[in-house]
Amino acid sequence: MSSNPKLEDNLRAAILAEPDAVLDDKDLMQALVAANERARGDNIIDLRGIAMQRLEARLDRLEDTHRSVIAAAYENLAGTNQVHRAILRLLEPTEFEDFLRVLGTEVAEILRVDRITLVLETTLVQQDPSIDRLDGVLAVAEPGFVQSYMDNAPKHPAREVVLREIRQPNRRVHGDQLDQLQSEACMQLDLGKGRLPGMIVMGARDPRHFSPQLGTDLLAFFAGVFERSMRHWLS
């Protein structure tokens, strides 16, 4: 018998029929290279094989990066669609109270956050009773409250947007979910000349939902549209 048994005829015929399938199979090619190295012996160094291994490692890293980029692009697209849907829903109400209720209910559901609060600064000492009918979506505060609340963390350079964990819950902002919310996004609102500023606070139970490392472009866009809508309602 021969010491080098041949491949079975059907396997040999399959390989000859589709040689590219062998070349495209990473595991099979690695097995063939390893067999070739064993046949050469331990006293021979295959520099070409070493170079190929390094190229394979680089290719694996590039593929991982490619997958990460694609995943991030899909996630960003999904986030953009969410914000667009939320804005379109905000533009539908014809009454201010409905506008605020939609903000605290349907818009919060679309954006997948657990609470949205609109904070408006006012010089009035007595709170309007109609605020109590809005289920906590609207809160009023003394002048300077918004800036003080947002100064507890670094700001985004393009717009006042703060993402952070909630370390000191505020009942005025977080309401009856004071002990449940773990992270928040704060967006300062410019309500026009001669008016005190406002702020939108989105809260989430997940402490990583609004991480400072996340981008703020979509939230800045949402805040920009919202503040323009508020100017319309306040005019």
Domain locations along the chain: 94-234
How many CB atoms are located within 10 Å of the residue 95 CB?
9
With 0-12 / 13-18 / 19 or more C-beta atoms within 10 angstroms meaning exposed / middle / buried, residue 162 is: buried
User: What pLDDT is recorded for position 119?
Assistant: 93
User: What pLDDT is recorded for position 71?
Assistant: 65
Residue ranges in the chain whose pLDDT is less than 70: 1-7, 36-50, 71-74, 125-134, 152-159
User: What pLDDT is recorded for position 156?
Assistant: 46
User: What pLDDT is recorded for position 26?
Assistant: 72
User: Measured between alpha carbons, how far is 60 from 66 in angstroms, rounded to an integer?
Assistant: 10
pLDDT in tens, 81-91: 899 999 999 99
| b (16+ CB within 10 A) / e for 22-37 | eeeeeeeeeeeeeeee
Partners of 184 in beta bridges = 164, 203
- Which pTM does this prediction carry? 0.67
Question: Does domain 94-234 bear CATH number 3.40.50.720?
Answer: no
User: What pLDDT is recorded for position 18?
Assistant: 79
